[in-house]
Chains A and B, each alone.
Chain A
Amino acid sequence: MAEMWLNMGPQHPMTHGLWNLRVKVDGETMTEAEPVIGYLHRGWEKITENRKYPQIIPMADRLCYGASMSWSHLYCLTIEDLMEIEVPERAKWIRTIVLEAQRIGSHLMWLAALGTDLGSYTVFLYPVRERELFLDLMQNLCGARMTYNYPRIGGVRNDVPANFERDFTRVLNHFEKRLSDYEALCDQSTVFRMRMEDVGYLSPEKAKNLGVTGPNLRGSGVDYDVRRDDPYEMYDQVDWKVCVEKSCDAYARYRVKMDEMRESCNIIRQCIKKMKPGAIRVKPPRTAPKGKTGWAHVEDPRGEGFMYVIGNGDERPYRLKVRSPIFVTVSAAPEMLVGYKIADVPAIMGSVDMCLGETDR
């Protein structure tokens, strides 16, 4: 069969979010790939130029609605860097706990999507069932299940509810047992390993050069994690390890995320023990001087998230730039896809964990 360009998307059951993957196929093998994004572009950065600083926090939630706490927290970190505010200690502990819970929730959603891609609806329903527990925890904390609007510039919105430690400990104990079940369901399944091993190879040099970050980078053997190497919040006060795998294929990226879920449970447990009472918010100034800049980067569940802000002299930012990790990983997708078969596309793109909200902004 002659070579032809195939459009996988924009209306397609596999693509999580609205984007188009154009692949040039020779029979079943892909010779070129070109991702086309922009279907979900909302002009986020331009809108923020006309909003006051606190009004942008719920907007940041909607950047990636799958991991929304991570993005509103990143925004608050950026503005705290701009205005040079020091956040009280208890707020930092709470933020760390909540961020790690968000990481687990986001990774569970990724696992569910990977299950649908590979054809196993059981692997879809089990993580979603666990994620409900974490969403219930978040609902107890801040009242919302998805877009939380919980961090504030200078701290967090409210203190933890009653029975916080008890609920979290129960959920974590239950979850760790279930996580072993999922690992058994996937890792010990020859079919799963056959589909994920040796596909989507991304060498470490290419990964670093192409700007891939996060679990995708660590799945290629590069030992870099923003939480450890450029610490923020309370990550340097907690004893945890960075998960790295050496095999550079889709299976390595899957294993990194599964290990990260366990490490997150570990971090949350330590934070709950080490948390001290205290203030949870300081009052930030309303304005920032014109021309003053600030930036912050965090380890989003999908990679390195980064925001850069320039003040305008009044209550609104002059420019707010968002760097989303999946934006860059999608541009590196052709590197991972060329040479494999079309049937491998769901396995490869599923292991990358796409979220269109942050890509298109």
Chain B
Amino acid sequence: MIANGLYDFIYGIALWILQVVAWFFNNILAWFSVGAWFVSPGVVEFLTTLLVALVVFIVGFLVSITFIWEERKILGRLMDRRGTQVGFLGLFQNFADGLKTFIKEHIIPDEVDKQLFNLAPVLLIAMSCFMICLIPIGPDFFMANLNSGLLLVFAVFSLAPFAILMAGWASNNKYTVMGGMRAAAQLIAYEVPILLSVAAVVVLVGSFNFMEIVSFQQDNTWLIVPLFIGALVFFISAIAEVERIPFDLPEAEAELVEGWMTEYGGFRWGLIMLSEYVRGFAACGVLVLLFLGGWAGPDFIWPEVWFLIKMFMVFALFIWVRGALMRVTTKQILGLGWTKLMPLALINLGIAIALKMGGWL
């Protein structure tokens, strides 16, 4: 666990909490060994890790929910309407929706495969939330900063087709099976361009560690400048991976009702919807980290706030694309991914290699 500012801050809090507990055990119950155990370094570190994870998770979660708010407002304005108005500026709408979804009845059709049916949304939201903890929001604000952080994020990102296929098949419904297969085909097809553009970044920086990528960009230039094509390919592929319009054929309302999530209602549906936005958070976060300099910015605002501002702006672009374009069919999606985005990503990789070998970066 690499120490960072958040860790140190929470360490102090955890130590204080455990000292209170230890005081209780020492002075009230006179169990001195138990009291000492509570303030031993191992326990404090454990509690700190837990609390850091909680804090990072809550922040990431709230940011994802704010993404939903941003989408509703901006999409509304694009369509010449105001978007949600509940609460101050519409910010309470998502909590109202969450509460409504939480108290709904759990309806499970009779003929589904119960274990897989219940497992699929759990898997989806678990993977999405796992990614929140891997993405650092600032130099002092992250849960874990692994040396292979970037690789792990994409590994977890790519687990989605499993859960989707599981969901589609377990629902015992012709529509959902077709939706699940389409979704899996689309997600797998678009992972190749994403990973190729990520590979170009790694070639230039030389490491999978997010901290090093950001400090490289702070030292040299934001990687969007030399790797512009790569950023574009990443942007388009990210929209496809998060299953947004124009690439939302798997959940195409007009033909397949809700696609692979047709049979999910109530809270399970809420979890799936949330996981889509958390994946959007992860995709935007990685884009900002890799191409837009992460938290680099002038010093008068905290770096975490810079990061969030950049994420919101990237997501606003996602929303703009959604507002203006129409859904693309499966044949066209796969064609776009394999025949247009992959060659561009390869060209981008070539540029990165050339820059590295030439010594310019």
Q: Can you name the residue of chain A whose Cβ is closest to the Cβ of B331?
A: A341
| Interchain CA distance A8-B248 in the complex, whole Å | 19
The chain A residue sitting closest to B256, CB to CB, is: A342
Once A343-B249, A344-B329 are accepted as A-B contacts, the answer to whether A117 and B80 lie under 8 Å apart by CB is no
CB-contacts of B247-283 with A (<8 A)? 248-249, 252-255, 257
Chain B residues, CB < 8 A from A4: 174
**Which of A68-76, A161-169, A187-195 lines the interface with chain B?**
A187-195
Q: Would you call B253 and A13 a contact (CB within 8 A)?
A: yes
Task: Let me know if A119 and B252 touch, CB within 8 A.
Answer: yes
- Given A6-B174, A119-B327, A341-B329, A346-B254 contact (CB < 8 Å): yes
Asked if A40 is an interface residue, CB under 8 A from chain B, the answer is: no
Q: Are A120 and B245 in contact (CB under 8 A)?
A: yes
Determine whether A14 belongs to the interface, using a CB cutoff of 8 Å to chain B.
yes
- Residues of the A chain whose Cβ atoms lie less than 8 Å from the Cβ of B249: 343
Q: Which B residues lie within 8 Å of A192 (CB)? A: 326
Known: A13-B254, A120-B245. A194 touches B330 (CB 8 A): no
Q: How far is the CB of A184 from chain B (nearest CB, A)?
A: 11
Q: How far is the CA of A8 from the CA of B257 in the complex (A)?
A: 10
Interface 0/1 of B129-158, CB less than 8 Å to A: 000000000000000000000000000000
How long is the Cα–Cα vector from A345 to B256 in the complex, in angstroms? 11
Of A122-130, A151-159, A228-236, A254-262, the one contacting chain B is: A122-130
Q: Does B325 contact A (CB under 8 A)?
A: yes
Question: Cβ of B255 and Cβ of A125 under 8 Å apart?
Answer: no
The answer to whether A117 and B328 touch (CB under 8 A), given A6-B174, A125-B80, is no
Identity of the chain B residue whose Cβ is nearest the Cβ of A12 in the assembled complex: B257
Q: Is A28 an interface residue (CB 8 A)?
A: yes
* Chain B residues whose CB sits within 8 angstroms of the CB of A144 once the complex forms: none
CA distance A6 to B178 in the complex (A): 11
The answer to whether A122 and B324 touch across the interface, beta carbons within 8 angstroms, is yes
A88 to B187, CA, bound (A): 66
Chain A interface residue number, banded: 20 to 34
Task: Find out whether the CB atom of B255 lies under 8 angstroms from the CB atom of A195.
Answer: no
Q: A126-B80, A129-B80 are in contact. Are A116 and B254 (CB under 8 A)?
A: yes
Contact check, B174 vs A14: say whether CB atoms are below 8 A apart: no
Query: Are B324 and A343 in contact, CB atoms less than 8 angstroms apart?
Result: no
What mask results when residues 104 to 120 of chain A are scored 1 for a CB within 8 Å of chain B, else 0?
00000000000111111
Q: How far is the CA of A341 from the CA of B248 in the complex (A)?
A: 17
**A275 CB-CB contact with B under 8 Å:** no
Q: Are B254 and A195 in contact (CB under 8 A)?
A: no
What range describes how many residues of B lie at the interface? 20 to 34
**B78 lies within 8 A of chain A by Cβ:** yes
Does any Cβ of B come within 8 Å of A39's Cβ?
no
Interface string of B162-178 (1 = CB under 8 A from A): 00000000000010001
Q: B330, A341: Cβ atoms under 8 Å? A: yes
Contact of A119 among B79, B254, B331, B332 (CB under 8 A): B254
Cβ contacts A40-72/B at 8 Å (1 or 0 each): 000000000000000000000000000000000
Cα distance A115–B254 when bound, in Å?
Answer: 10
Asked if B226 is an interface residue, CB under 8 A from chain A, the answer is no
Compute how far the CA of A12 lies from the CA of B327 in the bound complex, rounded to whole angstroms: 18
Q: Are B257 and A195 in contact (CB under 8 A)?
A: no
Task: Write the nearest CB–CB distance from B232 to chain A, whole angstroms.
Answer: 15
In chain A, positions 1-53 with a C-beta closer than 8 Å to chain B are 4, 6, 8, 12-14, 28
- Chain A contacts with B in 136-159, Cβ cutoff 8 A: none
Highest count of chain A CB atoms <10 Å: which of B324, B327, B331: B327
Given contacts A191-B246, A194-B328, contact A122 B79 (CB under 8 A): yes
Contacts of A129 in B (CB 8 A): 80
Q: Which residues of A contact B (CB under 8 A)?
A: 4, 6, 8, 12-14, 28, 115-123, 125-126, 129, 185, 189, 191-192, 194-195, 341-346
Q: List 30 A-B contacts (CB under 8 A).
A: A8-B255, A13-B257, A14-B255, A28-B330, A115-B326, A116-B253, A118-B327, A119-B245, A119-B246, A119-B252, A119-B254, A119-B326, A119-B327, A120-B325, A120-B326, A121-B79, A122-B323, A125-B79, A125-B80, A125-B81, A126-B79, A129-B80, A189-B325, A191-B327, A194-B329, A194-B332, A195-B327, A341-B331, A343-B249, A343-B252
The 3 A-B residue pairs with the shortest CB-CB distance, nearest first, are: A119-B327, A343-B329, A120-B326
